[in-house]
Structure 1
Amino acid sequence: MTPRLSNKITAIAESATLKVDSKAKALKAQGAPVISYAAGEPDFATPEHIVEAALVAARDPKNHRYTPAKGLPDLREAVAAKTLRDSKFEAPADNVLITNGGKQSVYESFQVLLNPGDEVIVPTPYWTTYPEVIALADGVAVDVFADAAHGYKVTLEQLESARTPRTKVLLFVSPSNPTGAVYSPEETREIGEWALAHGIWIITDEIYQNLTYDGVEATSIVGAVPELAEQTLVVNGVAKSYAMTGWRVGWTVGPKDAITAMTNLQSHLSGNVNNIAQRAAVAALTGSQEPVEQMRQAFDRRRHAIVEQLNLVNGFSVPTPKGAFYVYADVSGVIGREIDGVTPRSSLEVADLMLEKAQVAAVPGEAFGPSGYLRFSYALGDDALREGAERLQKLFA
């Protein structure tokens, strides 16, 4: 019997981060005092000068029409300038594709590079979307796990052990979602040179590039190894640094043949990104960066607070991240312990217990790789951050 729906599409799992966040919001709507650390988005308003640029653009009739699927020329130029400024390599605007958020960029990147059976080395813990989009492109994700003791960063030896004749792509993410880990310039260069030597494509997600702390800078793998420019797709966007998650503007920078192929795909998939949002993104990239720095400083303050508070939870071990706005807590000390009449056997069950008993939401490690961990976003208000941690201290005392 012919399946009613596509096997490939029905095999996709719902985004775990969005699922947990939706559940938390549904409970809030029912009146429950839920504190959610689940969503990966800033709680700040988009800076005013960006909003103003959108209002001006909305009144201009030229933005009411179709525009090139590749993106507005002004925005592609602004992305090229940002890439030079922050990623430290030069790419012409013609090598930039504007996408509907970083998610579309990630999806299209794998679609363009992979053929059935091609392997992608995926450093783990990983963002929950990566394995799904690899599967949609008929690729095979090869997980390489690094635990808290290794700073959640894979080694060159691990990557080499995972390499096979089918290896086509290395996924490289620094700063990381979900761990906040940031690879050093030396580590980045070593990995880049390894990929170059073996002819392996790299898809590098730099969406958290401007959110680093303690004097650490995120090193772009192409900036570290310029020769990689012809075999790397760089994903980025305005969502995280500019508090623009809902505006849906991302981009890919890469070699011309790959960008052309992605543009052709996007011309059928969605066409151009919303023109008003694109104009707002131009203002974000070319206008004052002071609001970005103010948000980064607020995240830094919250980072210290959440690490301190969660490490007071009996059974939690929380390394201090150097980037993004997440902490990745090792909760193995809670698993198997009776808590208020319940004995959780996995981090998924720990997350369920927290939501039921303390009305605190976090995303279980199963969404990002092995069990035993919880991701907490500290992109929420200072008071809520502290209260949620205090509830957990009481629950697991």
Structure 2
Amino acid sequence: MRSQDYDRLYLSPPHLGRHELNYLHKAIEDNWVAPAGPNLDGFERDICEFTGARHCVALTSGTAAIHLGLRLLDVGPGDEVLCPSFTFVATANPILYLGATPVFIDSEAETWNICPERLREALEERQRQGRRPKALILVHLYGMPARLREIRAVAAEFGVPLLEDAAEALGARYEGQPLGTFGDVGVFSFNGNKILTTSGGGALVTNNPDWARKARFWATQAKDDAPYYQHSELGYNYRLSNLLAGIGRGQMELLEDRVKKRREIFAWYQKHLAGVPGLRFGPTEPTGGRSNRWLTTILLNPTETTVTPEQLRRHLETHNIESRPLWKPLHLQPLFAATPCFGGKVCERLFTHGLCLPSGSAMTEADLRRVAEAIRELF
């Protein structure tokens, strides 16, 4: 059949229920159509209750949360920030916003997150030069917990604060503890393709009350406590609106179900694509880790199949099915051409051989079978 004979299967579209409308209707009825209000306060409480973090500041994006988090860690011009190469550019852009320089670290092959050995190598090399990076950004890629025990130990040994980028990992856990709560600052994203969405949005979590107050102050244009508009510090228009927070409140009520469904989708693909030549699933959960399986991702082994990820992506498009390459490593991006990187071969290999499959939590078994049958056609 022609691709236009099928409804489009998207990679990870928003999945709304009925709960969100209740909060939106209430906000409109009460005229809380503003960048403040009871939904915003309630959404922040919901996030704290779910994660165990003491304080939450809801913001316009995960990028904004990283920006404010780095500023809380006193990152500024001339500083260095350690950062995985294998991640979305929004992880590293806020480093540049502050005039600092990223130092990229390669992945390890199991979880696909920052490699503890490469991290130690970078810190030892910086130590020999008499330089200490101002912060480490740790990403949990595709909702997969990093090797937190080892990474935190290395960071603590060298006295480097940790900003935990859990933008893709809400609902995932490590040793029973929610991701986003292991660092000095944690960050979530509620973009339209995430496991929980507010259309666009993000959050910063911390156990430090002074940092939470400061982040909220900066996010509302840093207006001083005066009867007129007075500003003594640089601020931003980063606060999430009360309406979008209402969507988030409804989504939070469904979060555990959404995680359960994403994990079931991953398991379904594993079962029904078993035996496809050269096709392997990854990344792998570390000991004590429980991924939210935000996206199901695969690798194609070129020694076992001649099919490439790009050929598979194009083939799926003929069936009106969206798929996507894995993140292109940041050290290969023109924007970061002159940026130092420790290692790089692991994430380069993952990028070359990997693909993301449709993983939306609203997918039916018929949708999944359509993807699997289309994949098997090519092998």
Give the structure-2-normalised TM-score. Answer: 0.70
1:306-333, CA deviations, whole angstroms, 9 ceiling, x for partnerless residues? 2233444332211366323212212242
CA distance in 2, matches of 1:272, 1:221: 19
2:257 alignment partner in structure 1 = 294
1:386 alignment partner in structure 2 = 369
CA distance in 1, matches of 2:265, 2:197: 20
Note the aligned Cα RMSD (angstroms). 3.8
Helix, strand or coil for the counterpart of 2:315?
helix
1:24 alignment partner in structure 2 = none
2:240 alignment partner in structure 1 = 273
Alignment equivalent of 1:138, drawn from 57, 79, 99: 99
2:60 matches 1:100: yes
1:15 alignment partner in structure 2 = none
1:19-58 matches, within 5 Å, as 31=4, 33=6, 36=9, 38-39=11-12, 41-42=13-14, 44-45=15-16, 47-58=17-28
Name the structure where helix makes up a greater proportion of residues.
1
1:118 alignment partner in structure 2 = 79
Please, which runs of 5 or more residues in structure 2 have no aligned partner? 222-234, 286-290, 330-346
Q: Percent identity?
A: 16
Query: Is the deviation greater in 275-284 or in 193-202?
Result: 275-284
Structure with bigger RCO (C-alpha 8 Å, 6+ apart): 2
2:120 alignment partner in structure 1 = 160
Q: How many residues align?
A: 328
Counterparts in 2 of 1:89 and 1:273: CA distance versus 1, 3 Å: closer
> Aligned-pair distance for 1:277?
2.2
> Aligned-pair distance for 1:139?
3.4
CA distance in 2, matches of 1:139, 1:276: 34
Counterparts in 2 of 1:249 and 1:365: CA distance versus 1, 3 Å: closer
1:364-383 matches, within 5 Å, as 364-368=325-329, 369-370=347-348, 371-379=352-360, 381-382=363-364, 383=366
> Aligned-pair distance for 1:202?
1.8
1:204 alignment partner in structure 2 = 164
> Aligned-pair distance for 1:393?
1.5
1:1-397 matches, within 5 Å, as 31=4, 33=6, 36=9, 38-39=11-12, 41-42=13-14, 44-45=15-16, 47-61=17-31, 63-65=32-34, 67=36, 72=37, 75-76=40-41, 79=44, 82-83=47-48, 85-91=49-55, 96-110=56-70, 113-148=74-109, 150-163=110-123, 164=126, 165-174=131-140, 176-177=141-142, 180-183=143-146, 187-212=147-172, 217-220=176-179, 222-223=181-182, 232-236=184-188, 244-254=196-206, 255=208, 256-257=210-211, 260=214, 263-264=217-218, 266-267=220-221, 269-270=236-237, 272-282=239-249, 289=253, 291-319=254-282, 322-333=291-302, 337=306, 347=309, 349-350=310-311, 353-355=314-316, 359-368=320-329, 369-370=347-348, 371-379=352-360, 381-382=363-364, 383-395=366-378, 397=379
Q: Note if contact 2:191-2:197 (Cα within 8 Å) is conserved in structure 1.
A: yes
CA distance in 1, matches of 2:363, 2:82: 36
